[in-house]
Amino acid sequence: MILTKATARLAATLVMAVAGLAATAQTVVEQSRAAAPREEMFLDMAVTAARKSLNDGGAPDGAVIVANGAWKATGVPTAGAAGVHSVGSAVVNAIADLRGADAAKCVIYAINRPTAADVAAIASAGIPSVIYVNDADDVVAAGIANADDFVVKPGEGTVTLVRVANAEAASIVKNYKKSKK
């Protein structure tokens, strides 16, 4: 599900609420490993969302939320709701779509590393992990976000961020940087 105007307003409200949490964002555990075949399938879905975002004039950013091995929500950057990235958008969509499903069984697959505000929203939603491709340096170099957007300060709880390789997701961000020159 892509954000509608009504959910865009909800997303903007979430961003404002999360802005207060970002200063005390959750503990982040960073890992890096190869993607499993099933993870590649979900990363491909995030890549498709990022391509849609690009085609609609947005940044190359896409995320999906999976619960118990099944797709639940998709997120892309939200135009008109400043600061809502694909992960934040997916969390907003998932909150509406999960309808009581156990958030602790969810995983977010994203082409870009979540920002500090995204991490706070993820932790607040109870989602334990994010599998992503492009790290903060890649995202900043492409002009998608600022370095300050990724400063996560220790707090309560944990979100595990796992960086994996995916050539197509890496290529989208790298080519976006080139096209902006």
Task: Look up the domain containing 89 and give its range.
Answer: 5-180
Helices (H) and strands (E) in the chain, counts: 6, 6
Q: What is the CATH number of the domain that holds 50?
A: 3.40.140.10
Q: Which helix (H) or strand (E) holds 110?
A: strand 106-112
pLDDT tens for 163-175 read 999 999 999 998 8
Q: State pLDDT tens for residues 3-14.
A: 444 444 444 444
Q: Tell me, what DSSP letter sits at residue 145? A: S
163 within 8 A of 31, measured Cβ to Cβ: yes
pLDDT tens for each residue of 111-148: 999 888 888 878 888 888 999 999 999 989 988 888 88
pLDDT of residue 8: 43
Q: How many domains does the chain have?
A: 1
